[in-house]
Every structure is written in C-alpha cells, then in structure tokens.
Chains A and B, each alone.
Chain A
C-alpha cells in the first residue's frame, strides 16, 4: 500500500518536473510571465511528492513492511530503531531517494527566497534545478526504484550492511554529505540561469549564489571530517585518510568550491575572473555527480558501492549531457561573460587569490587523475592497477602545503597594489610564528622536510590570520573607545564574511596541525597479551585485564578490557576494543576504542582472541593531536556560519 502510494507520487513527480522545465522558456519567450508561477508550482509540488515518497519509505522501514523491496533488502526486526531510520541512506535506492528529497528541498528554498527578484535569472535557475530533479526522478522510477513489490513477503530481512550499523556517525556523515553535495547544484543552477538569461555579463548571479555555495561548502567540509572520523572509529586501521576513491570523490568538489569562494571575491572587487568563476560552479557540480557515479555505480568495491547494475550508465550519460550543454553554452557566450578588470600590483591580495586558485585547481586535477586512472587503464588497456598513496602524497601534498602558506599571505596584503616596503612590513610578523612552530617540530623529532615546512607554514598563517583580528580590534578600540571584547564583536558583525573567512582559515590550520602531527609521530605496536601482561607504546602502557563476551539483541560482542596505566603503574582508565558479530553476517565488525586528550589519542583495536579467554591480540596506536582534526573541522564550520551573516550592503553596491 505505502509502496504503491510512493510509486504513484514519484511517477507524478516525473511528469510535473518535466512540465516545469518546458513551461519556463515558453513563459519567458512569449512574455507570459504569469506562467512562471506554473514552473514555481512544479518546484513546490515536486518537493511535496518526493516528501510523500520519502515519508512513505520511513514509515515502511519503521513498521518493517517487507513487501517493499528496499525494506526487504536492508530492514531487520532486530536492528535498533535509530539504525532502522538511518538505513534510509544505507543502500543504493534509498540514498538516491534521499538525494532527490534534498534536491527538491533546495529547489523549493531557492524559489521561496528569490522568486520576487526581477529578471530571468531565478526562473532559469529554477528550471535548471527541475532538470536535475528530473534525472533523479527518472532514476527512482527506473533503475533505482526502492518501492518494487516483493512477493512472497519475507518474515524478516537481513538488516543494513553491518559496517553501517556499527557507529552513530552513520547518522551524521551521509546527511551532511548530501546537504553539501546537493547544495552545490544551486550555484550551478544560478550559473546556468545566468547564461540563459544573459545576466552572465553581470556579477549579480555570482553574489546570489555565493551564500548557497558557502552553506554547501560548510556542510561538505563537516561531512568530510565526519567521514574521516567514521573511518577512524570504525575501520580499525587507526587512520582517517587513505586517498581512497570514495574519499577523493568528496574532496574533489570541495577543492573547486573552495576555489570558487575565493575567486568570487576577486570577481566582485576587481571585476575579473567572471568566466573562471562560472566554470568553477559548473566544475563543482559535475564533480559532485562524478562522485556519486564513483560511489554509487558499483564501479569501485567499497562500502559505498552497493550493487552493480545499469545505474552507472545513467550517471555517465548525465555527466556527458551536462558537460556538453555547458560547453556549448559557455563557449557560445564567452565574449559576453569575459570581464575587463585587471590585476593590481604583484604584491596584492588578488595575486594571492589567483595563486590560491591555481594551486587548488592543480590539487584537484592531481586527485582527479589519480582517482580515474585505474578506471581508464582497465577500460582501455585491460589491466587492473591502483594508484598508490605515494602518488597523492608526493604530488598533492606540496601544493596543499603551499596553500597553507598562502593562507597567511593573502589576508596580510591589501587589494590593489602596495609598495614592496609596505608588503614586507605586512608579511614579516608571520615569520615569528613560522620559526617558532618549525623549531618546536624539529625539537619534537620531526625530520621529514615536508612535515617541518608544513608546521612552519601553519605557524606563519596562524599569526597572519590572528593579526588581522588584532589590527581591526585595536583600530576600533582606538576609534570608538570600546573595550577589546566589544571591539572584536563589532569587527565581526561589521564584516562577517571577511572575519568568518579568517575563522575558517584558523579551523583549516588546526586540522592541518592535527594531520601533520599524527602523520609525523604516529606509533603503533601489535602483540598477543595474556591477562595481566603489559604493552608499552611510545610512553603509554596498557595492561590486559580480561577478554569477555556478551549477547545483544542484534549481535554478539567480544571485548578486551585494557587498563591504561599511569606513571606510577596506577590504573588511570580503561579502553575496551571490541569485535561485533552481527547475526546477519559471518564477518565481524572491528570496533576500536579511543581514549582522547588534548595531546592526542590512545587507540586500541582487538585483532584476534582465544576462545578460552586465555589471550587477545591487540593493536595499540598512539596518535598525537588527532582530536584537533575533529575540533578544527568544527571551527571551519563556525567560520562559514559567521560568513553566512553577511547582508547585501556592500554586495548590492558592487553588483555592476
């Protein structure tokens, strides 16, 4: 019943969306602007219909309605309620449904917020979002239909993939990722709308789309950090990033979106890079679709690739269509889009922004080539290869370290031009931070050149960004006689975009510090312990207390309790790595345990155990500063949130 209702809703949505796409150009060409209400109505109706389908799926999941194919594939009566609800995005069809719902939500929000704006930009943007919705609606009634009837109705199902029901971050990472990924359709829609409406020759569309990109960027940043955290907490290898194709898939659009957030400022202030900014919008969107193709088509074997089917061809077709359409549109209008602005001096903020875009693009291309190469090699030469981590570390890390340096240079330099003497005065203070942090790293035993350079650059950039607050704060204090706290608040609220940006910078620097430190000083040891036996790793000692087993409704849990010993051999805590055996799988899920402090993590994973409880093999890893990565991610999001408060004052003034 629910299945039939939802299928009906999805079928109607295909028709509604298609009508919405067609009616827009007709309304504009014939001058019947009142018809545009039909297109906007289609956006709202589509949101309603996809909401009905998504709601029906949630009801079916929660009530264990195994007559619905998706529930039969991922549901189980023994799965806890929370994991039953979040299995909505735990497999292919449900995740496409969820995607379509988020897209419909964004489209409705765009129309709701911007439909009163005069001109044809918003109608065409809405049309573009409807066209993208049409693609997902077709997937949902075709190759990714989650509501197919099942007969005979099974009494119970296998439950979600065991890896995906083992940690609470599964409730966090996917929705954030979708909000980020799908949100990037909105700047693309504005870019396409700008071309269709002829407004690409102004800067207004980029200013409208900027906040949408910033919000999506914040969601994607949080999602990447949450994904790293999930991998760290669940997979048991004690790492958070391995240049795995699915990780790269989330990183690629993040890079172009970051480039956009910087280039759009150059477009506004210097009337430059309009064509480039537009291309970044398109590239970001295409990379989100490519990422979905990589993770959802089954072309990779990973926890993200659910099944093999025909869905990959739909995605390839869609990517080809988007690329072809934008190529024709952009090439046909490039003379109109191109801008006349020029660079200021060499030592200016816009120069740094250009370099920033250059390096971000280089990192993106490197990661893209490294990710796609195995697929191309297999398709063309018939050999199975993988591109190792050294490729990414050697090729992308230097450019990323350079970006950290630029993060300290850009904020210090003014727009336009300045004398070399003035530039030197502005750039020198950061050197203190660089020397300080570089020296600390050296004393602490770092020897790899790239690591030391990374630490020094982080020190440089931290000083560079914090100094901007200090200068503005002091100026306000002197001018208005406000105390320093009020002055800081005043600085932030007067220009949230700029100072929010610096907060995001500091967040990225904290993340960088965590990554550089854990990559440099990570130590691990593995040993088989009998109860009472100790293992010491880099100054941290644990003692095996016991090995135990416990039954839970949906799984059996085997654990090893390790006591963490202080300097005087007193017990200062315990860590309990476990192994979870789910009823539905013969393969256990590792469940490491982590003890965190400001200085870093003590990470333990249960590798093997003797049934008698006589011994357990554990891997213990000391990971310095890893919690800083998660904390820094939070700071990045905070910075983006502050930046969202920018009102249209200066933006409107510079629209032309």
Chain B
C-alpha cells in the first residue's frame, strides 16, 4: 500500500519535471539557419533568436575602429543577409570564412548580432597570396623588434 503511494508520487514528480523540462526546451531552442532558410521564413523570421550560418561575403566587411561598429554580409551562395554588430571582429575574421552569428533580424531587415563565432578549423589551409598571417603584423615586428 505504502509502496504504491511512493510510486504514484514518483510518477507525478517525474511527470511535472518532464513537463517543465520540455516546456523550457521549446522556449530556448535556437535554430541554426542559412540566409536562404531565414529569408524563406519572411516576417516569421523577424525578431526571433536564431543562429545564422554562412560565409563572410568577400569585400563586405566594414569596421569602424573608433565606434566599434561592424558590418558585413553573410552569404550561403544563394541568398545573403546584412549583419550588424558592435565590437571588434574576432581575431581570425577574414573575407570568405565560415561564421555563425547569433542574434535576430531587426525591423529594418538587418541582422543584429549579439555573438559572433568563427568556425575554427583545425585543418591547415595554405593562405592565398596577400592574406598570409604575417602580412598583418610584419611591420609591427620590424618596428618594435630587437
């Protein structure tokens, strides 16, 4: 008799816990979308937190060092989306590289980013001429080095 009551209590508790858990999940799941998929949602995609994935469109990066205002375009080959963020671009940020941007589409159709993640690849890739890493710092080392 007592055992049945304990089992019933456990079942109720598990039920409530599961309900809370999956309710919480539904509210906090963030979809990972490409610009094409996000634009296909139309107005349903506005104001919803998503992760936007794609490549940084070459030549689209504009950064104002003084105001830290960063703008660039993310493309998936088919469609593209303008992104705005505040702060310095991640140190490995570069034209054409894969990025994941967390944020939401604002009223003006511009993606307001709250978080920028660069796809950090472990595979070594030979840099193209003109974009070797040392191009970015060789002057500094020459100037201040021993």
A residues with CB within 8 A of B:
158, 161, 163, 236, 301, 303, 306, 362, 365-366, 369-370, 373, 377, 383-388, 390-391, 394-395, 526-528, 546-551, 556, 558, 579, 581, 584-588, 590, 606-613, 615, 617, 619
- Known contacts A163-B120, A587-B121; can you find 13 more A-B pairs with CB under 8 A? A386-B29, A394-B28, A548-B140, A549-B142, A550-B141, A579-B91, A586-B92, A588-B133, A607-B88, A607-B91, A608-B65, A611-B139, A615-B65
| Contact between B31 and A385, CB atoms less than 8 A apart | yes
A556-B21 CB under 8 A given contacts A526-B87, A617-B65: no
| Contact between B139 and A608, CB atoms less than 8 A apart | no
**Interface hits, B115-146 → A, CB 8 Å:** 118-122, 124-125, 127, 131-134, 136-145
Nearest CB on A from B24, distance (A): 5
| Contact between A303 and B137, CB atoms less than 8 A apart | no
| Contact between B21 and A395, CB atoms less than 8 A apart | yes
Contacts of A306 in B (CB 8 A): 122
Contacts of B91 in A (CB 8 A): 236, 579, 587-588, 590, 606-608
Interface membership of B40, Cβ < 8 A: no
A586-B133 CB under 8 A given contacts A369-B25, A579-B91: yes
| Contact between B140 and A549, CB atoms less than 8 A apart | yes
| Contact between A365 and B17, CB atoms less than 8 A apart | yes
> Roughly how many angstroms separate A170 CA and B137 CA in the complex, as a whole number?
27
Interface membership of B12, Cβ < 8 A: no
| Contact between B137 and A388, CB atoms less than 8 A apart | no
A556-B125 CB under 8 A given contacts A369-B21, A385-B30, A587-B92: no
> Roughly how many angstroms separate A651 CA and B31 CA in the complex, as a whole number?
52
CB closest chain-A residue, reference B67: A528
Chain B interface, number of residues (Cβ within 8 angstroms): 46
> Roughly how many angstroms separate A234 CA and B132 CA in the complex, as a whole number?
23
Interface membership of B51, Cβ < 8 A: yes
> Roughly how many angstroms separate A556 CA and B22 CA in the complex, as a whole number?
49
B residues with CB within 8 A of A:
17, 20-22, 24-25, 27-33, 49, 51, 63, 65-66, 68, 87-89, 91-92, 118-122, 124-125, 127, 131-134, 136-145
Nearest CB on A from B101, distance (A): 13
CB closest chain-A residue, reference B115: A237
Q: Can you name 19 A-B pairs with beta carbons within 8 Å?
A: A365-B17, A369-B22, A377-B29, A384-B32, A387-B28, A387-B29, A387-B30, A528-B88, A548-B140, A549-B140, A558-B137, A581-B136, A585-B133, A588-B91, A588-B92, A607-B91, A611-B139, A613-B144, A615-B65
| Contact between A587 and B144, CB atoms less than 8 A apart | no
| Contact between A391 and B24, CB atoms less than 8 A apart | yes
Contacts of A369 in B (CB 8 A): 21-22, 25
CB closest chain-A residue, reference B65: A528
| Contact between B51 and A613, CB atoms less than 8 A apart | no
A581-B143 CB under 8 A given contacts A303-B120, A306-B122, A385-B31: no
A549-B144 CB under 8 A given contacts A556-B134, A617-B65: yes
| Contact between A386 and B145, CB atoms less than 8 A apart | no
| Contact between B25 and A370, CB atoms less than 8 A apart | yes
Contacts of A387 in B (CB 8 A): 25, 28-30
B88 partner, pick from A384, A558, A588, A619, beta carbons under 8 A: A619
Contacts of B140 in A (CB 8 A): 547-549, 558, 609, 611-613
